[in-house]
Structure 1
Amino acid sequence: MRRRGRIAVIGVGNEFRRDDGVGWAVLARLQDRPLPPDADLATCDGDPGRLIGLWEGASLAVVVDAAHAHPGTPGRVHRLELDAGVPAQPATTSSHGLGLGEAVELARVLGLLPDHLVVYAVEGADGEFGTGLSPAVAAAVEPLVEAVEDEIVRGRDASAGRSA
């Protein structure tokens, strides 16, 4: 089990499937930012077991993933949040065979959800093989980086308030 109280930031996807790499692009930008030492950055292909392992024991987990919506608005960002212990059956928004919804439900049943989970799902335009994000999704990256940094600050403040 990973250290308790940490913040897990997870970029989900496949950087070789165009817009499916948005989570990885956000993580790459975050690596260049001054983040607190309790923020662990990781990429993941979306496998539920790996996702659960990455967020296990975290006080806050922030996940960034591509989403497919029909009809969709490429670059539109959806923010979802869940506190541990709150039963939920989130819709699968991932582009993967088994998605984030299944990981959340499995973690809930096993008691392995982080204390607080925030998901940023970005509607994509292009999931074909190749590298590089479509213009609409690329434009969402920097605002997402800032939003994730804000989540980290709020998560640290909330954690500090609970331990005071």
Structure 2
Amino acid sequence: MTVAARIVVIGVGNEFRHDDGVGWAVIERLRGRGAEHRLPSGTVLETCDGDPGRLLGLWEGAELAVVVDAARNEPSRPGRVHRLVLDGTGQAPAGATSSHGLGLGEAVELSSVLGRLPGRLVVYAVEGADATFGTGLSSEVEAQVGVLVQEVENEIERHGADTAPARPRDAS
């Protein structure tokens, strides 16, 4: 599936594995925002289980893709957020890894080989405390959901400012 959207926000994870559902929680919160927090026209909000092929399809053709996912890191600090940016180089950033078997790094590498990377990819990886079966986020991760929603909105706003056409100068 190809999304010909200018901006796509993807929450990756599994809402039935506690903190692995952080990406889905951010998408749900973005969908529930009021009129004062409207996202630009053409912005698509999606959830994904982390399958690299599905991620490729969701971000293909996007100028900006923002991904929110749970992460594993050693030593772990539950609730710590990592921000990773990829601007078309095709090199997956080092550091925290996805909480899924095949991670975001593999999806980025595959996208690069296939020429299907978004123009700009920003990843927010949140270190989790609990990936056992069940619903609900740990308190450390839950505390970051509102912060992440604001960060996603800020990324979109910065992208709009960076891509806005220059206004002609007044000739007088």
Shared fold (TM-score, shorter chain, > 0.5): yes
AA aligned to 1:54 is L
**TM-score, structure 2 as length reference:** 0.89
What secondary structure, in the 3-state scheme, does the structure 2 residue paired with 1:3 have?
Answer: coil
What secondary structure, in the 3-state scheme, does the structure 1 residue paired with 2:10 have?
Answer: strand
Listed as ranges, the gaps of 5+ residues in structure 1 are: none
Tell me, yes or no, if the aligned pair for 1:7 and 1:155 is still in contact at 8 Å: no
Number of matched pairs = 161
Q: Where does residue 88 of structure 1 map in the other structure?
A: 91
User: In 2, Cα distance between the equivalents of 1:107 and 1:68?
Assistant: 22
1:40 equivalent in alignment to 2:44: yes
Q: Give 2:103's match in structure 1, choosing from 75, 99, 104.
A: 99
1:2 shift after superposition: 2.8
Listed as ranges, the gaps of 5+ residues in structure 2 are: none
1:114 shift after superposition: 0.3
Q: Per-residue displacement from partner, 1:12-63 (whole Å, max 9, x unpaired)?
A: 0000000000000000000022212221000000000000100000000000
Identity of aligned residues (%): 66
What secondary structure, in the 3-state scheme, does the structure 2 residue paired with 1:145 have?
Answer: helix
Q: Give 2:77's match in structure 1, choosing from 70, 73, 76.
A: 73
Q: Where does residue 3 of structure 1 map in the other structure?
A: 4
1:87 shift after superposition: 3.8
Larger Rg: 1 or 2? 2
AA aligned to 1:82 is L
User: In 2, Cα distance between the equivalents of 1:109 and 1:29?
Assistant: 33
1:95 shift after superposition: 1.0
**TM-score, structure 1 as length reference:** 0.93
